[in-house]
């Protein structure tokens, strides 16, 4: 019988629970940003991922991500489908101090939230049936290959690409999939729909920020100094990004916006994610400030182009993940984490080039495949809801429910 380290195992179970909490947090965040007729429609898209993704992860997802190498290291095999050959005494090969079941559960929480991130872009325009098909296909053909290539000792890992907790794997792929979705389904009929509940946005942000400690610090898969480094880098980058966004918006619109502060924090969290365990605290400060500036500008660029990314998934998560992954290629230090690499500032231009190339690949593939996949789904079932349903609101039209009693409004 294997002997596991109680401290490391307990910490990873806690980190897993924190990452699980991020998906309901995302539902609250998006639910608050949504118009009052589409609160439940956006929230159910996050919550249903918790069920369907778990089923898919058990059946084949974990194996395709972390078992073997197929198609030149692009995807795994089916050797661990339905956890074949894994029992409660099986150690995780990457850290034998914890059971493989714990790693299975931890990575499953990442798989749950990643496609849910995309949903904020096409709020109140996509049918629930089409979304369920999208949820399955997008994981099989976008998320799983990038998990394997980067974290499963696949093609990009062998090329030297690093991604501590998901800048490329999670945020870049999801962000550019969101952009493809927006372009495919087109604009909303009513683009002036204001947030229905800023307090709900704040609750969602708090849960996301709290859960992000498990997302980033837990990605060390152990309890050591790098765990602490990732934890504090996460908080500092989010804080500097939030304050930067607040200052920019206050300067331009002459009022300090609460939603802007919250959005800036999420941008900072997304941007530090790929670098959290590879860079110094000083670098995390720079990354946070850069995130506040660049993601703010990205949102305004998107608005200028007329892309109806309703909840700014591309500008916050997509651009944040890309920026953080590229800045990792600048600021990474092996003195911080020996399993990482030195970045451009420390004499390694090759690592910077590899990071940038991986970002371009993830963005291009995420965009092109998602656009094509939506076109395919549309041949099976209509992707975009009818104009009547959109005007009525998807809470009622699709789900026959209302978030609040009608007397509240």
pLDDT tops 50 at residue 209: yes
Burial-class residue 3 by CB neighbours within 10 Å (0-12, 13-18, 19+): exposed
Do residues 399 and 41 touch, judged by C-beta distance below 8 A? Answer: yes
User: Is 193 a domain residue?
Assistant: yes
Do residues 304 and 296 touch, judged by C-beta distance below 8 A? Answer: no
pLDDT digits (tens, 9 = 90+) for 74-110: 999 999 999 999 999 999 999 999 999 999 999 999 9
User: Is 1 a domain residue?
Assistant: no
Instruction: State the residue range of the domain holding 75.
Output: 6-401
Give the C-alpha separation, 229 to 348, whole Å.
Answer: 22
Tell me the average pLDDT across 142-147: 98
User: Is 336 a domain residue?
Assistant: yes
User: Is 407 a domain residue?
Assistant: no
Tell me the average pLDDT across 304-312: 93
If one counts the domains in the chain, the total is: 1
Q: Running DSSP on this structure, what letter comes out for residue 384?
A: B
In the structure, what pLDDT confidence band is assigned to residue 409 with cuts at 50, 70 and 90? Answer: very low
Look up residue 32 and give its two tokens: 């608050």
pLDDT digits (tens, 9 = 90+) for 34-68: 999 999 999 999 999 999 999 999 999 999 999 99
Count of alpha carbons within 13 angstroms of residue 212, beta-carbon side = 31
pLDDT digits (tens, 9 = 90+) for 152-207: 999 999 999 999 999 999 999 999 999 999 999 999 887 777 899 999 999 999 99
Do residues 178 and 317 touch, judged by C-beta distance below 8 A? Answer: yes
User: Is 409 a domain residue?
Assistant: no
Instruction: Give the number of other CB atoms < 10 A from CB of residue 35.
Output: 20
In the structure, what pLDDT confidence band is assigned to residue 407 with cuts at 50, 70 and 90? Answer: low
Give the C-alpha separation, 268 to 279, whole Å.
Answer: 15
> What are the residue ranges of helices labelled H in 86-172?
100-118, 128-138, 144-151, 155-158
User: Is 408 a domain residue?
Assistant: no
pLDDT digits (tens, 9 = 90+) for 245-293: 999 999 999 999 999 999 999 999 999 999 999 999 999 999 999 999 9
pLDDT tops 80 at residue 2: no
User: Is 163 a domain residue?
Assistant: yes
* pLDDT at residue number 1: 67
User: Is 299 a domain residue?
Assistant: yes
Per-residue three-class SS string for 206-272: HHHHHHHHHHHHHHHCCCCHHHHHHHHHHHHHHHHHHHHHHHHHHHHHCCCCHHHHHHHHHHHHHHH
Average pLDDT along the chain: 96
* pLDDT at residue number 406: 64
In the structure, what pLDDT confidence band is assigned to residue 5 with cuts at 50, 70 and 90? Answer: very high
Sign of torsion over alpha carbons 302, 136, 50, 129: positive
CATH of residue 210? 1.10.3430.10
Give the C-alpha separation, 393 to 37, whole Å.
Answer: 5
Give the C-alpha separation, 78 to 175, whole Å.
Answer: 28
Give the C-alpha separation, 350 to 360, whole Å.
Answer: 15
Q: State the pTM of this model.
A: 0.96
pLDDT tops 60 at residue 149: yes
């Amino acid at each position: 019988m294997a002997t596991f380290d109680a401290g490391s195992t307990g910490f990873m179970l806690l980190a897993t629970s924190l990452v699980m909490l991020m998906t309901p947090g995302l539902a609250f965040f998006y639910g608050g940003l949504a118009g009052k007729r589409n609160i439940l429609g956006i929230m159910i898209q996050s919550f249903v991922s918790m069920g369907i993704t778990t089923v898919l992860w058990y059946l084949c997802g974990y194996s395709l991500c972390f078992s073997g190498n197929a198609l030149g290291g692009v995807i795994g095999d089916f050797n661990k489908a339905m956890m074949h050959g894994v029992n409660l005494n099986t150690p995780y090969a990457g850290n034998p101090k914890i059971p493989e079941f714990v790693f299975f559960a931890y990575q499953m929480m990442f798989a749950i939230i990643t496609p849910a991130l995309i949903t904020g872009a096409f709020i109140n325009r996509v049918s629930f049936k089409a979304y369920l098909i999208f949820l399955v296909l997008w994981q099989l053909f976008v998320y799983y290959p990038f998990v394997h290539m980067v974290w499963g000792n696949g093609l990009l890992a062998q090329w030297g690409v690093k991604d501590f907790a998901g800048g490329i794997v999670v945020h870049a792929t999801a962000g550019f999939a969101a952009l493809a979705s927006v372009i495919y389904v087109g604009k909303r009929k009513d683009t002036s729909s204001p947030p229905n509940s800023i307090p709900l946005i704040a609750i969602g942000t708090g849960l996301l920020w709290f859960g992000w400690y498990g997302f980033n610090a837990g990605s060390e898969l152990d309890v050591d100094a790098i765990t602490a480094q990732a934890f504090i880098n996460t908080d500092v980058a989010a804080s500097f990004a939030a304050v930067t966004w607040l200052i920019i918006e206050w300067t331009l619109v002459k009022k300090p916006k609460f939603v802007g502060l919250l959005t800036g924090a999420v941008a900072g969290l997304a941007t530090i994610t790929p670098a959290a365990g590879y860079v110094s605290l000083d670098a995390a400060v720079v990354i946070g400030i850069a995130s506040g500036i660049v993601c703010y500008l990205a949102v305004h660029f998107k608005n200028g182009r007329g892309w109806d990314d309703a909840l700014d998934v591309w500008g916050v998560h997509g651009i944040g993940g890309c920026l953080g992954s590229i800045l990792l290629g600048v600021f990474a230090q092996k003195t911080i984490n020996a399993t990482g690499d030195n970045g451009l500032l420390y004499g390694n231009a090759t690592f910077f080039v590899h990071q940038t190339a991986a970002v371009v690949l993830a963005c291009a593939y995420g965009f092109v495949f998602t656009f094509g996949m939506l076109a395919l789904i549309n041949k099976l079932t209509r992707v975009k809801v009818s104009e009547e349903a959109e005007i009525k609101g998807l809470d009622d039209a699709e789900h026959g429910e209302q978030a609040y009693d009608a007397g509240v409004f």
